Chains A and B, each alone.
Chain A
Amino acid sequence: MSAVIRAEHLSKQYRLGVIDRRMLYQELQSWWARVRGHEDPNTPIFARHARVENGTCWALQDVSFEVGQGEVVGIIGGNGAGKSTLLKILSEITPPSSGRALMQGRVASLLEVGTGFHPELTGRDNVYLNGAIMGMTKRDVRARFDEIAAFSGVEDYLDTPVKRYSSGMRVRLGFAVAAHLEPEILIIDEVLAVGDAAFQQKCLGKLGEVARAGRTVLFVSHNLSSVENLCQRGIVLKGGQLAFDGTQTEAIAHYLDSIGATGVSLHDRKDRSGSGELRVSAIEMRDMDGRSTRTLFAGQDVDIHVHFANPQLRQLRGLTVQILVKTQLETPVFTHSNRLNVLDFDDLPSAGSFVCRIPRLPLPVSTYRLSFIIAAQSGAAERAIDAMDNAFEFDVAGGDFFGNGKLPKITNGVCLVPAQWRMEASQPAAAPATV
C-alpha cells in the first residue's frame, strides 16, 4: 500500500494579538495607552491558555503520520485538539508554520457543502460554480451533470434560483456536487450532521462507495459511532499533538480514556424545568466493573446512574423517576421508570443516585440521547420536580448481542430483540411418504 498523504512534523502557530486586532482606532488606542504607561485595553482576555507563550498559540505541534491509499481514517479529539487546523492545512486553506505535508492526487475537502452557492443563480449554474470552486473544470462537471442532478433529488428545480430552495434542497445539491468530485483524497468534516435521515443514509452509502473505490478518506467527527462504522483507522489529537494512531476501535477507546468519560455535570445546564425541590446533578453509565463510560456495547449489562442532590432533605411522595432514550434523529427507542417496577423511593438522602440496570443492552450501533423526568405525586395529579431533554449522550460502538458477532444496523430497527427461530412442518400436507 503506497502512501498518499504524508505529514512531516506539521506545526501551526497562531498569533493571538493579530486575531483580536481589527480596528485602526483600537491600534491607536493601544498605542496611546502604552505611551501613557497604562494597561493596553485591547489585550485578549483568552491569553491565559495552556499552550500560549509570548502571545502565540500552537494549534498543532509536530504532527507526523502517513496515510495509505484507500484508507479511511477517522480523526478524533476534543474541542481545540487541532482537528480543524489539521484539515485546514491539508486542504490548503492555511499553510503550516513549519513542517510539511505531501499529498498524492487530487484533494477535495468537504468542510461545508454548498460552499459558494449564489442565491440569484439557478441550481444548474450553481452546480457548475460549486464544482469549479472545488477544482473541477466545466468539462468535468458537464460529464457528470446528470448523475449529480439525479443524486441530489432536485432535478425538477434546476432552473430555479437557489434562493427559492429550502435549506435541505441546498444541502442535497451541495453534497451531490461534492460526492461526484471523484478526488483521490476526500477530506470530510462533520458533513453528516445535515439533511434528513434518508439523505444521511444516502451520504453514508456514498462514503462507503468512495472508500471501496480505493479512494482515501480523512473523516473528522464528534460522532464516535460513525467513526467506528466508517473508518478502519483512527488518529487521536490532543492539545495539538498526535496522541494515538491505530485501529479506529483502539483510537476511540484511547480518546474516551483520555477525556475520563465520566458522568457529565448538569450543574450549568439551564434548559431544565420543574419545581427544583430535588435536582439531578449528573447522569452516568457504568459497566459491571463499576467503570464509568459513554461507549457501550450491545449485549453488555449496564447501570444508568441518575445522581441527585437533595440538600434540604425534602421527602417527596410518590416519586417517579423516568428516563427516555432517543436516537440522534429523535426517534424514541424506549422509556423506563420505577413505576414500571412498582417501586417506591422513600427516605431520600441528601445526595445519592437512582440506578436503573439494563441487562443485555438491546441497542444497535449508533449514538443515543437520554432525557429524564422526575415527578412527584401532588394530590391526584403529578407535578414535575426536575426534567431535562438530552441530558446525556452515549454511543453503542459495537458488541455481540446474539452471541455470534452478528449485529443488525440501526437502519433496520432501533432495538435488538432476543428471539429464537425454529421450523415446523405443516402436518397433513407435507408429510413425506418415504418415512
Chain B
Amino acid sequence: MNDSASTVPPVWSRVLEPRKGWLDLRLRDLWRYRDLVALFVHRDFVAQYKQTVLGPLWLVLQPLFTTVVFVVIFQKVAKIPTDGIPSILFYMCGITAWNYFSDCLTKTANTFSANNQIFEKVYFPRLTVPLSIVITNLATFAIQFTLFLTFCSFFFLKGAPVQPSWRVIVLPLLLVQMAALGLGAGCLVSALTTRYRDLTMLVSFGVQLWMYGSCVAYPLSAVHAEARWLLALNPMVPIIESFRFAFLGAGIIERWQLALGVVESAIILFAGLVMFCRVEKKFTDTI
C-alpha cells in the first residue's frame, strides 16, 4: 500500500490519527454539536426536578434553609459580625454565589464517571458535557438569584442599610469567572478521579472546606488583618466580596486581589482543560 501523503486525495472528511497535542480541544466539533449541548441542558434540568421529591421547590428551599442555619450558628451562637448588613441578606448573598460555583465544580468533577457508558459507545466532543453543566447551573442560579433579589427588595423597602449600586453590572463577569473556575477545578478533579477512584469521596468534603475558606459565612473584614492576604489567595474570596459589595454595599475589595483571582481562575481553567484533554484521549483505554 502506498501511504505517502501526496496520494491522499483531499476528499477525506475525517482523519483519525494518534492524538498528540496537549490542548486539542476540537472546538470546531464542539460547534457542530451545539444542539447536543442544548439537549444536555434540557435533560439535566428535567431530570433534576423530576428526581427530587420536592421538585423545583427544592432549588428555593435549599438556600433558605442554609441561610437559616447560618443565621443560627454564625450570628446567634458564634456572634460573627456581618458588615452591618441584615444577616439573612448577608448569608443568602454568599450562598447564592457559592452554590453556583460549587455546583459547577462537583458536577463537572463527575463528567467521566457519570458518562462512562456513553463515552465508551459513541464519539462526540466530551467537552459538551461540562459545558452543558455550566449552562444548566445558570438556570438554577437564576432561580436562587431571584429569591435573593426578592429578599433584597423587601429589606430595602423596609429601610435596612442596604445599598445596591451601579456596580451590579459586574454580575455577568463574576458569573463567567465562577464558571471558569468551577469548570477548571472540576476538570482537574475529574481527571484525578478517573485515575484514582477513591478520591471521589474527598471531593464533597473538599468543596465544603473550601466554602469555609471563602468568606461565605463571614465577611473578610472580620478576619484578622494579618491573615487576610492568606484568604486573598483563594480566588473565590474576591468574587464573593465583590458580589456582596455590588448588591449590598459592604465588603473589602482590593484591585490586586481581583487581579490575582482572575489570573488564578485563568490558570486553573487552562490546567483543567489540559488535563481534560489528556483524560479524554486515554479514558476509554483505562476504565
Contact B15–A102 (Cβ < 8 Å): yes
Most buried by A among B17, B40, B47, B119: B17
A107-B121 Cα distance, complex, nearest whole Å: 13
The 4 lowest CB-CB distance pairs between A and B, nearest first, are A92-B123, A24-B196, A132-B36, A103-B14
Q: Which bracket fits the contact residues of B?
A: 35 or more
A102 touches B14 (CB 8 A): yes
A94, A97, A107: the one contacting B14 at CB < 8 Å is: A107
- Excluding A96-B17, A103-B14, 10 further A-B contacts by CB distance (< 8 Å) are A9-B3, A18-B286, A27-B196, A96-B16, A102-B16, A106-B13, A111-B121, A116-B118, A121-B47, A129-B43
Q: What is the bound-complex CA distance between A90 and B36, given in angstroms?
A: 21
Query: Which residues of chain A are near B124, meaning CB under 8 Å?
Result: 133, 135
Given A18-B286, A120-B50, A135-B124, is A128 in contact with B14 using a C-beta cutoff of 8 Å? no
Q: Is the CB of B118 within 8 A of A115?
A: yes
A-B contact list, 23 entries, CB within 8 Å? A8-B3, A18-B282, A19-B285, A22-B196, A27-B196, A93-B121, A93-B122, A100-B16, A101-B15, A101-B16, A104-B12, A104-B13, A104-B14, A111-B120, A111-B121, A115-B121, A125-B39, A125-B43, A129-B42, A132-B36, A134-B122, A135-B33, A138-B39
**Smallest CB separation, B213 vs chain A (Å):** 23
- A398 CB to closest chain B CB, in angstroms? 32
B163 to chain A, nearest CB (A): 44
Residues of A within 8 A of B197 (CB): 22-23
- Quick check: is A421 within 8 A (CB to CB) of the other chain? no
Give the contacting residue for B121; candidates A6, A22, A100, A112; CB below 8 A.
A112
Contact A95 B47 (CB under 8 A): no
Within 8 A of A (CB), among B38-80: 38-40, 42-43, 46-47, 50-51
| Contact indicator A14/B15 (Cβ below 8 Å) | no
Tell me the minimal C-beta distance from A186 to chain B in angstroms: 13
Interface residues of A in 101-144 (CB under 8 A from B): 101-107, 109, 111-112, 115-116, 118, 120-121, 125, 128-129, 132-138
Q: Is A262 an interface residue (CB 8 A)?
A: no
A94 touching B285, Cβ below 8 Å: yes
Q: Do the beta carbons of A138 and B35 come within 8 Å of each other?
A: yes
| Closest A residue, CB atoms, query B202 | A24
Q: Are A96 and B122 in contact (CB under 8 A)?
A: no
- Assess the A93–B15 pair: CB atoms within 8 A: no
Majority DSSP secondary structure for residues of B touching A: helix
- The answer to whether B14 touches A133 (Cβ under 8 A) is no
Interface residues on A, range: 35 or more
Complex-state Cα separation, A93 to B199, whole angstroms: 25
A6→B8 CA distance, assembly (Å):
10
| B18 on the A face (CB < 8 A) | yes
Contact status of A95 and B122, CB under 8 A, knowing A22-B196, A102-B8, A132-B36: no
User: Contacts of A95 on B, CB cut-off 8 Å?
Assistant: 16-19, 281
B18 near A118 (CB under 8 angstroms)? no
B122 A100 Cβ-Cβ under 8 A: no
Query: In chain A, what residue has the closest Cβ to B15?
Result: A102
Find out whether the CB atom of B16 lies under 8 angstroms from the CB atom of A25. no
**A64 interface residue, CB < 8 Å from B?**
yes
A 169-213 binary contact with B (CB < 8 Å = 1; else 0): 000000000000000000000000000000000000000000000
The answer, yes or no, to whether A258 is at the interface (CB within 8 Å) is no
Check B12–A120 contact: CB distance below 8 A.
no
Q: Does B198 contact A (CB under 8 A)?
A: yes
Partner of A88, one of B32, B33, B47, B284: B284
Alpha-carbon distance A231/B163, docked complex (angstroms): 75
**Does A8 lie within 8 Å of B1, measured CB to CB?**
yes
Chain A 373-417: CB-based contact to B (< 8 A → 1; otherwise 0): 000000000000000000000000000000000000000000000
Closest Cβ neighbor of B192 among chain A residues: A24
Q: Is A98 an interface residue (CB 8 A)?
A: yes
Specify which of A14, A23, A91, A132 is in contact with B285 (CB 8 Å cutoff).
A14
A61 to B17, CA, bound (A): 15
Question: Do B36 and A133 touch across chains, with their CB atoms under 8 A apart?
Answer: yes
As a 0/1 sequence over residues 201 to 219 of chain B, the CB contacts with chain A under 8 angstroms (1 = contact) are: 0000000000000000000
Contacts of B199 in A (CB 8 A): 24
* B11 on the A face (CB < 8 A): yes
Asked if A324 is at the interface (CB within 8 A of a chain B CB), the reply is no
